[in-house]
Structure 1
Amino acid sequence: MPGFRVSADLMDQLVTAASQLVDRKDFGLYVGQHVEPLGNTALKWSIVLSGSPAAALQRMANFSTLIDSRVSVEVQAVGNHHVLERLPPVDLLYRGVDPLYEDFVASGLVALIQNLLPDGARHSAVELTQSKPDDPDPWTACFGENITWSAPTFKVWWDTSLLRQQRVNSNEKLARAHDVLARQQLTAQKAAAWKQRVEWLLIAELRRGAITQKTIAKALKVEVRTLQRNLKAEDTCFQELLTGVRKSHALSQLSYNVPIAQIGSELGYKDPSAFSNAFKLWFGVSPRNYSDAIQVSMP
């Protein structure tokens, strides 16, 4: 969908949930290298159309807090290099960037800028805040040999002469036009309806077990009463949204012939009969009858 991107909080949770399923310590690297980090957004085109890689880096720094409120990025010239640094969070309550999320951001950033550099050119060095893993080979394959572990902050270094090279297919006029659209898109996303933000989090948290207003409020960095008040202002409530997400998940899983007991467990029901009763209350039929009807109607 043009202009669509999920929030950084939700992306963090989706990557975390997926990493637990595949059980790979280097999963963040894989996602960062294979998932388009900015989607088909105005910001992506603003960066791609930048006159030089240096201009693209500066744009990313300018938009960093709108992309992710937890992240503040600064680009500086140091000697004959440019360095992008993720500054420590201002909010001391924030837990900091975990290795998985750092890998995801770092590998995605390196891949994005590398696409703007001349053929064969790449960054000079990477500094990661995480400890050196037992098997560093996946990180070496992604970032090269020049990695500093347990650094105070996350940094990526590039040779300044590479970053200042003008790009053949650049168009700064269009890039600036996309800057305006990008700011509008990102600002609108940060002000997204509470209902939508809660639904995104519920979907991401669904398979983790019991979901409470407290866990969702914590993820949104607000008090439970604030969450309740904002949802009430949009004529809904937490339980209504949770039920809606559970309904959608149940129907989707049944259409794929997932065992009923498994679906109930995913939705937080310890007893399969409790899920069956809830499903019948929602739709007027048991999940077994619904599943049978779906299978019969399939071509």
Structure 2
Amino acid sequence: MREHESMIAPEYSTIGPIGTVIAQTLQAEGIDPAPLFSKAGIDVTGLSDPRVRMPADSFKKLLELIEETSSDPAIGLTIARFIHPTTFYSLGIAMYCSDTLGQYLDRFIKYYRVVTTNNRLEGKVDADGIYHLRAISSTNQTFPGSREDGIASFVTTILRLALHHELPLISVKLARPTPTGVEGLYEKFFRCSIEFNAEHTELAFQADMLEEELTSANPELAEMYEQLTIEYLDKIDRLDFPSRVTNELIRLLPTGVSAKEKVAEALNISTRTLYNKLEASGTTYRQVLDTTRQQLAEQYIHQGIPIYEIAYLIGFSDTANFSRAFKKWAGVSPMGYRNSILSETQD
């Protein structure tokens, strides 16, 4: 059986105020941000609202446009100049009020989805007592190098802000190609050795730094803003949950599995919770299943995959059942849909 790439993906996103930071960066470079944001499909006027999220596709397009427009090959490093604790809504304040740098990073890693769901953070101490903070992509998309620069630079900047002094980095790894025409800019910013073309973007420093107490510590404020962060993520989860179900269905359908019990198991929740979460999102399991199957079927038909194989790939036991279901969804049989595509391409 051939492997087929699915173009359906979960709704990955980045918090709106990051867009404001990028707009400020562009303005400082003498670039009008409005046309670039417009071409990327992002409304620049509402980005200061943390309830606004920039979809991954639009964010990727924005970064591509910025790299094409800017004369600065390391513009991703410049973004960090405009980062401040409130950029990340309540999370930034909860972090800033943490007792130690370790607690600060624990909160950052745990609630990083506030910032973006395009990647996740992972922190580990190795046998030599070195702490590695790593950004791991959550999508199959390849983002421009400026994203990796931006991640590493803004994380370095907020750690320096928390400490109120230099963060002695041991090394920085960047999951991007080696840029040209930068002549030591990266080493100057991070003040350590840089490795390009890495598997993941990563900062490394001595683990004993985690014990350093923060002068901005305020346990009561930290707890209050952490609760606001939890409530914010609950809202995101309600909006994104159908996409998570879709993602599991895409993975399971080619194996012939579409049972709600298996999807719930993959999401580490009960079937009842699956139903309740979908209901809270304004949909049902059947609606998500049918929509996923229809979108995949249409995609595979466009790719020229045989109808019998499509039936298998989206979890039907035979072509007849698939054809009946597809006609119910699209108002036409799979062959009729394919013929209409061929007619359009010939016109």
State the match for 2:270 in structure 1.
none
State the match for 2:45 in structure 1.
none
1:142-197 per-residue CA deviation (whole Å, 9 max, x = no partner) reads 1123111211211111222222111122013321221110122244356569xxxx
Alignment of 1:162-241 (within 5 A): 162-189=209-236
Partner secondary structure for residue 132 of structure 1: coil
Task: Measure, in 1, the Cα distance between the counterparts of 2:134 and 2:98.
Answer: 20
Residues 1:131 and 1:28: Cα distance change in structure 2 (over 3 Å): same
Gaps of 5+ in 2: 1-47, 241-290, 296-347
Residues 1:139 and 1:37: Cα distance change in structure 2 (over 3 Å): farther
State the match for 1:295 in structure 2.
none
1:30-72 per-residue CA deviation (whole Å, 9 max, x = no partner) reads 1133344752611110111111111111111111234322212
Q: Do residues 117 (structure 1) and 163 (structure 2) align?
A: yes
Partner secondary structure for residue 84 of structure 1: strand
- Which of residues 202, 216, 224 in structure 2 aligns to 1:155? 202
Residues 1:97 and 1:84: Cα distance change in structure 2 (over 3 Å): farther
Q: Do residues 45 (structure 1) and 59 (structure 2) align?
A: no
Aligned partners of 2:94 and 2:226 also within 8 Å: yes
Residues 1:8 and 1:165: Cα distance change in structure 2 (over 3 Å): farther
Question: Number of residues paired by the alignment?
Answer: 195
Aligned partners of 1:114 and 1:123 also within 8 Å: no
State the match for 2:134 in structure 1.
85
State the match for 1:75 in structure 2.
123
Q: CA deviation at 1:12?
A: 4.7
State the match for 2:313 in structure 1.
none
Alignment of 1:222-261 (within 5 A): none
After TM superposition, the structure 1 stretch with the greater mean CA deviation from structure 2, 34-43 or 151-160, is: 34-43
Task: Measure, in 1, the Cα distance between the counterparts of 2:142 and 2:172.
Answer: 18
Q: CA deviation at 1:17?
A: 3.1
Q: CA deviation at 1:88?
A: 4.5
Task: Measure, in 1, the Cα distance between the counterparts of 2:196 and 2:207.
Answer: 23
Task: Measure, in 1, the Cα distance between the counterparts of 2:219 and 2:124.
Answer: 21
Partner secondary structure for residue 124 of structure 1: strand
Residues 1:139 and 1:187: Cα distance change in structure 2 (over 3 Å): farther
Task: Measure, in 2, the Cα distance between the counterparts of 1:153 and 1:13.
Answer: 21
Partner secondary structure for residue 133 of structure 1: coil
Relative contact order higher in (CA < 8 Å, ≥ 6 apart): 1
Partner secondary structure for residue 117 of structure 2: coil
Task: Measure, in 1, the Cα distance between the counterparts of 2:84 and 2:235.
Answer: 21
Residues 1:115 and 1:15: Cα distance change in structure 2 (over 3 Å): same
State the match for 2:41 in structure 1.
none
TM superposition score normalised by structure 1: 0.56
Residues 1:134 and 1:19: Cα distance change in structure 2 (over 3 Å): closer
Q: CA deviation at 1:107?
A: 0.6
Task: Measure, in 1, the Cα distance between the counterparts of 2:220 and 2:105.
Answer: 17
TM superposition score normalised by structure 2: 0.49
Task: Measure, in 1, the Cα distance between the counterparts of 2:59 and 2:80.
Answer: 11
Gaps of 5+ in 1: 194-221, 227-299
Partner secondary structure for residue 130 of structure 1: coil
State the match for 1:107 in structure 2.
153
Residues 1:148 and 1:190: Cα distance change in structure 2 (over 3 Å): same
Task: Measure, in 2, the Cα distance between the counterparts of 1:55 and 1:97.
Answer: 30
Partner secondary structure for residue 24 of structure 1: coil
> Once superposed, what is the RMSD of the aligned Cα atoms?
3.0
Residues 1:104 and 1:5: Cα distance change in structure 2 (over 3 Å): farther
